[in-house]
Amino acid sequence: MSLELTKKILKILDEKKAQDIEVIDISKVSEIADYFIICSGTSSTHVKTLADEVEFKINKSHETGYHKEGYGSATWVLLDYRDVIVHIFYGETRDFYNLEHLWVDGEKVDVEKLLGE
């Protein structure tokens, strides 16, 4: 179920031109979620648009809990769907927090393959 949700969110982000999309499978190294989706927006408006679109398309069909943080500042918006956590960054915030490095023990997932499925 979490992989299907990850695919849906990836397609939404890709359609809205999110940049540098990465997926990390953290299921074997953490209990907080199965997948992290990390991407960047080209402006604070783009970050909010990405978050809004994921919210709109996923929330109407997704039945589990949901939590959002950081929308007001639009430098790092976090959308938490329990098993899948989406991180949408703007500017240097992504480089500063470097989640990809923090979760290096997780397994990187081939985004292109998931988008093609």
Look up the pTM and report it: 0.92
CA atoms of 63 and 102, how far apart (whole Å): 30
- pLDDT (tens digit, 9 = 90+) per residue, 20-32? 999 999 999 999 9
Structure confidence at residue 59 as a pLDDT band (50, 70, 90): confident
Domains of the chain, CATH where assigned: 2-116 (3.30.460.10)
Tokens of 101: 């490095």
- pLDDT (tens digit, 9 = 90+) per residue, 72-102? 999 999 999 989 999 999 989 999 999 988 8
Scan for tokens 């648009």, then name that residue: 49
Tokens of 92: 């240097």
Asked if 21 contacts 14 with a C-beta cutoff of 8 angstroms, the reply is yes
Half-sphere exposure of 53 (CA within 13 A, CB side): 19
Query: Which of 86, 9, 12, 75 is closest to 42 using CA atoms?
Result: 75
Asked if 33 contacts 85 with a C-beta cutoff of 8 angstroms, the reply is yes
Per-residue pLDDT at 50:
97
